[in-house]
Every structure is written in C-alpha cells, then in structure tokens.
Structure 1
Amino acid sequence: MSRQRRTFTPEFKREAAGLVLDQGYSLTEAARSLDLVESALRRWVNQLQSERGGATPTSKALTPEQQKIQELEARINRLEREKSILKKATA
C-alpha cells in the first residue's frame, strides 16, 4: 500500500527550520524528533536562510514578509493582464 503524501503549513516549515537555525538542533536531530525526512527539512532550512537574506523564493514563501511580497507580485501580474486585455479591447 502506498504511503499518503503529507503536507505541511508554511508556519510548521518555518518553525521546523527555526529549530536548526535558531535553537541549535542538528538537522538529523530535528528531522527525527519531528518525524520528517532530512532532505525536506534541509530544503526548508536553506529556503528560510535565503528568505532571511532577502531573496524572493520561487516556491511558497515561509516568512510572512516574503508571503506578502508573493501575494502582491501575483496581484500586480493579474492587474497587468487585465490592463492588457482592456487595451486590446479598446483598440
């Protein structure tokens, strides 16, 4: 029987990565205590480090600031598409 794929909230991912970055847990220790695969936790840690450094992630953001930036960028893209459609309709 296949194992169901688990999903995690951005808050859980941020807190799990925070165990490694802020509280001094090793990657192995934190993964074992949270029943996670090390590679997933490693990705979250790397993503959180880059977000804290100011980089905008390509996947779902972990920090609230980056989440807001992604929402605003999506809104800008939608408005630009709407503007383009209206411009073509009036031409």
Structure 2
Amino acid sequence: MGSTRRAFTEEYKASAVEFVINDGRSVADVARSIGVHEMTLGKWVKKARDAQDGEPVRPLNEDERAELERLRSENRRLKMEAEFAKKVAAWFAKDQQ
C-alpha cells in the first residue's frame, strides 16, 4: 500500500503563511489549527521569508493598522458566532432523536 500525499493550492499555502508572518502566531499553533504537519508549514514559511528577502518590508501605516485591527476583531466575532451556531445545531440534532 502506498501513501497518498495531500496537495495544497498556492492560495492555501499563502494564507497559512500569512497567519504566521503577519498575525504573529506560532508555526505550531497554525499548523495544529489547519491540520498540517508543523514541518510542512515551517517549510512554507521559510520559503516565503526567503522570497521576501529581496523585497523591502514596508510597515503598515495608520489606516492599514486600523483596518487590520478591525478585521481581526470581526474575525474573532465571526468565529464565536460560527462556534455558537455549531453548538445550537448539535443541540437541535440531539433533541430531534
């Protein structure tokens, strides 16, 4: 029996790397949350950082920083709402039986 290898799109890899680089989360934390091996995500992050070495890193201006904070806040709220909806759905499903 051969092992199957999962394939990830470039967009998926970029968004995972963004969690580590821009949001300041650890590779282990992000890898656990998205279901990818830590070494795999580490390689993606290293590749992205190596690619950025040639480009100057521009810090966020005030407007971008404010938008980032607003989006992070909205993201937290939406995650809480989604978690609540899952619990309610599970409760209703259990109640139906």
TM-score interval for Structure 1 and Structure 2 normalised by the shorter chain? 0.5 to 0.7
Distance of 2:9 and 2:52 partners within structure 1: 18
Aligned to 2:30: 30
Q: Which runs of 4+ in 1 moved over 4 A?
A: none
- 2-structure distance, mates of 1:34, 1:11: 14
- The letter for the 1-side match of 2:44 is W
Distance 1:22 1:2 in 2: 37
Secondary structure in 2 matching 1:33 = helix
Residue matched to 1:4: 4
Q: CA deviation at 1:2?
A: 5.1
Q: Which residue of 2 is the match for residue 84 of structure 1?
A: none
Q: Tell me by how many angstroms 1:46 deviates.
A: 0.4
2:36 match: secondary structure: coil
Cα deviation for residue 5 of structure 1 reads 1.0
Percent identity over paired residues = 35
Superposed displacement of residue 3, structure 1: 4.5
With CA pairs under 8 Å and 6+ residues apart, which has the higher RCO, 1 or 2?
Answer: 1
Q: TM-score, normalised by structure 2?
A: 0.51
State the aligned residue count: 55
Looking at structure 1, the residues matched to 14 and 48 of structure 2 have their Cα atoms a distance apart, in angstroms, of: 7
Q: Helix, strand or coil for the counterpart of 2:16?
A: helix
CA distance in 1, matches of 2:52, 2:11: 15
Q: Distance in 1 between matches of 2:29 and 2:2?
A: 26
Higher helix share: 2
